[in-house]
Chains A and B, each alone.
Chain A
Amino acid sequence: AQTVTQSQPEMSVQEAETVTLSCTYDTSENNYYLFWYKQPPSRQMILVIRQEAYKQQNATENRFSVNFQKAAKSFSLKISDSQLGDTAMYFCAFMNAGNQFYFGTGTSLTVIP
C-alpha cells in the first residue's frame, strides 16, 4: 500500500514571503500522479497543482510550483508571494495507475499579514 507523509502539521509565513510545504511518499510503482490540494475553512477541496511521475519537469501554476524528486520520493510545494487567501489546510495526494487516491495528514498554513 502507498503512504503519503506530511511532516509539518502547521506552518506560518509572512504575507508576500515564500513558503515550502514538504511531502514524501512510498510506492513501488513507476507510473503514478501527485497532487496538492487546498482545503479552506469552507471545507471544499480545491486542486492546487498536479504532477505526472513520468515528467521530469516540475509543474508550475502561477505562484505555486513543486520540487519533484522521484528517486527520493519527495514532492514539495512552494508558494511564492504568499497571500492571505492562501491560508488553508494543504494536502499532498498520490494516485496510482489503478486510480486509487491516498492523502497525507495535511499541513495547516497560516499567512500572517
Chain B
Amino acid sequence: GAGVSQTPSNKVTEKGKYVELRCDPISGHTALYWYRQSLGQGPEFLIYFQGTGAADDSGLPNDRFFAVRPEGSVSTLKIQRTERGDSAVYLCASSPEFAGHEQFFGPGTRLTVL
C-alpha cells in the first residue's frame, strides 16, 4: 500500500514569508508526528497528533509554528514569519494507535529560507 507522503519535497522561501507543509499518513494510522531534522542531526520532535487533536505539542519551538489535522488524516505544518534558522528537513511519520509500534516516515520536505 501507499506509504507516508509529504509535499512539497523542496520549498524555498524568503525570510518573513509564510509556508505550509503537508503530510499524508498511511491510511488508518491514527498517530501522526512531525519532526525537524537539521544537517548532521537526528530528528527533533515537534508535535504529535492522536486523531484530530494534538496530544503533545511541546516540541514546537515558538508560536510561529502551528500544525493541524482537522479530519484525523492529512496534517499541515504551518510556519509564520519564517527565519533563516527554520531551514531544515521537516519529517512526518505515522503509526497505528497502539503504543510501541514503529513509526513510518515520509521522505521529508526540505525547507530553505533565504
Contact = CB atoms under 8 A, between A and B. Distances in A.
Contacts, number: 56
A44 to B, nearest CB: 5
Interface stretch (B17-25, B69-77, B101-109): B101-109
Interface string A24-41: 000000000101010000
Contacts of B33: 101
A30 to B, nearest CB: 13
B83 to A, nearest CB: 23
Interface string A71-108: 00000000000000000000100010111111111100
B43 interface: yes
Contact of A33 (B40, B100, B104, B107): B100
Mostly, the B contact residues are: strand
A103 B100 contact: no
A99 B42 contact: no
A43 B37 CA distance: 10
B43 A91 contact: yes
Contact of A105 (B35, B41, B102, B105): B41
